[in-house]
Amino acid sequence: MSKLSLASKLRLNSGFEIPLLGYGVYQTPGDICESVVKHAFDVGYRHVDSAVMYKNEKPSAAPILKSSLPRSNFFFTSKAFGQGGVNYSIVKKQVANTLKETGLDYIDLMLIHAPYGGSAGRKGAWKALVEAKEEGKVRSIGVSNYGVQHLDELEVHIRELEEERGKGRGGVIDVGQWEIHPWLARKDIVEWCRKRNIVVEAYSPLVRGNRMGDPLLQLLAEKYGKTPAQILLRWSAQSGLVPLPKSTTLSRIEENKDIFDFELSEEDMRSLDTGKYDPCGWDPTVWPLEK
């Protein structure tokens, strides 16, 4: 395994690169969001993961605009979502609104937040992302919370759009994002993505703090002289995932980046293969195709 660092990046199908470690802002209130994102950037993060549904896109992007570093040094993600499900017009409007709201010239990554909206809605939503990428509004595109059945369907939609719009214009999936940790490894989804060179992001990589007292984690934390959170994030990184830890505590934001000065052994990585399916949040991957 190549040496990982805070500066490590993964190449996307789009040709752009994504920083290996991201900073998540789910449920981060707007009034503190800018300051915590700025702190994350100050200590070395270069990747922030927001969403339309989080209602904090503007403060998440503000530190990028105010930084003395070039825009290209930062990676900004948002996600399109509709209460009744996604469709072409919703995603089209949300891409435009995210650009307006943030003041950014482009969005590094835009995802469909969940597979709600039925087959026609999902196809239209994807088409809107493809068009946004062609127009230069978005650099890379993908999906979040799709099950294998939704991913298989998306491949059909991509082929159909190629037939309708022309060769190479059906779009390519660059990134997929899911809740992933040792108690929800989603091996079927990860394998599906790996076969297609799709980068997999892990949200809730710290299991929302629910497993910090787990005896196995405690054992590994003691063995490596690290916190349980750092063990979990190192597991993500060594698994080839892009973890998106979220914290509004400044000391923990710093702690969560200090995962590059140790390496879990193969045996210890295997010990974290729990085989369990235990989501700590919502799980749209099981949403029926026909709904």
CATH of the domain at 171: 3.20.20.100
Give the pairing of strands 17-19 and 9-11: antiparallel
Range of the domain at 51: 18-211+242-263
Q: Are 243 and 205 in contact (CB under 8 A)?
A: yes
- Domain membership flag for residue 10: no
Q: Does the residue 222 lie in any domain?
A: no
Residues 48/227, Cβ–Cβ less than 8 Å: no
Tally of CB atoms within 10 A around 258: 16
Q: Is residue 136 part of a domain?
A: yes
Question: How many CA atoms, within 13 angstroms, populate the side-chain half-sphere of residue 40?
Answer: 33
Q: Verify whether residue 45 is a known catalytic residue.
A: no
Q: Is residue 232 part of a domain?
A: no
Residue 13 counted as domain residue = no
Classify residue 277: in a domain, yes or no. Answer: no
> In terms of Cα–Cα distance, which of 42, 49, 2, 67 is closest to 243?
49
Find the DSSP H helices in the chain: 30-42, 57-66, 88-102, 118-134, 148-165, 187-194, 215-224, 228-238, 250-255, 266-271
pLDDT tens for each residue of the chain, 291 residues long: 469 999 999 999 999 999 999 999 999 999 999 999 999 999 999 999 999 999 999 999 999 999 999 999 999 999 999 888 999 999 999 999 999 999 999 999 999 999 999 999 999 999 999 999 999 999 999 999 999 999 999 999 999 999 999 999 999 999 999 999 999 999 999 999 999 999 999 999 999 999 999 999 999 999 999 999 999 999 999 999 999 999 999 999 999 999 999 999 999 999 999 999 999 999 999 999 987
Domain total of the chain: 1
pTM over 0.85: yes
- Picking from 113, 205, 127, 111, the residue whose alpha carbon sits closest to that of residue 159 is 127
211: CB partners within 8 A, 6+ apart: 181, 183, 217, 228, 232
- On whether residue 39 sits in a domain, the answer given is yes
- Enumerate residues 6+ apart whose C-beta is below 8 A from 256: 21, 206, 229, 230, 233, 245, 247
Tell me, yes or no, whether 221 lies in a domain: no
Half-sphere exposure for 4 (CA within 13 Å, toward CB): 23
Catalytic choice (54, 116, 146, 203): 54
